[in-house]
Amino acid sequence: MKINIQRESVVTYEVNMEGATLLEVLNEIKRAQDPSLAYSSGCRSGVCGSCAVRVNGREVLACSHNAKDGDLVEPLRNTPILRDLVVDMEKAYSFNAKAKAWQSSLADNIELSEENQQINELQSDCILCASCYSACPVYAVNEEFLGPFSLTRVWRYVSDKRESDPKEKIDVAQTNGVWDCTLCNECTLVCPQGISSKADIEKLRSKSSMFGYMDPSFSNFGGGFNDGSPVF
């Protein structure tokens, strides 16, 4: 079985490991053939997200992908490459802070029912693997776009009934955020957790409208402003 890995150029390795995961193949290549090969890994169980790469043009977790003859393995896109398959995630993760994607404050005396907990249960499963960032065509051309997993996390807290100031997060998501997404659904297709950031962004758009915002691409109508400002 031949595995092609994008380094400074594409390097082909041959291994006899049918049925192995890509991470197992990478470990064997590093052990037996090329100790200089660099890649990231952690839990080996599809939980930490650190081994995300692109295989044949699609984002996957190396620990979950079954390697096949002829696979082309590349680093994630839209992030600086440190070496081989290792990328710098610092800027991508920084958008969580920029989007205020955390529980700001808890309203008093609110208990969550089982139904309330299920509203954002899936979004809480995000493992920050950045597969969605790599697949996102908007992030490819707009480096300030808050991006899929940050906006998913914004929705996770905006939809939490205990959040006392959801408007603060909605306000932040107006610039380089919910209206910049093309709703192409590429983020959903590559998410190893089955999270649809597209659906979460659509819900954030709906919530934005409830707070008086509108899509800035629409022409000025009814006394509002064509810049994402609230319309009253």
For the chain, list the domains and their CATH numbers: 2-87 (3.10.20.30), 89-218 (1.10.1060.10)
pTM, full prediction: 0.85
In the sheet with 72-74, reading across from the earlier edge strand, the strands are: 10-14, 2-6, 72-74, 52-55, 58-61
Distance in angstroms (rounded) separating the CA atoms of residues 130 and 112: 30
Determine the Cα–Cα distance for residues 42 and 74; give it in Å rounded to an integer.
18
As a whole number of Å, the end-to-end CA separation of the chain is 63
Contact 151, 181 (CB under 8 A): yes
pLDDT tens, per residue, the chain with 232 residues: 999 999 999 999 999 999 999 999 999 999 999 999 999 999 999 999 999 999 999 999 999 999 999 999 999 999 999 999 999 999 999 999 999 998 877 766 677 677 777 778 889 899 999 999 999 999 888 999 999 999 999 999 999 888 888 999 999 999 999 999 999 999 999 999 999 999 999 999 999 999 999 998 874 554 444 455 444 3
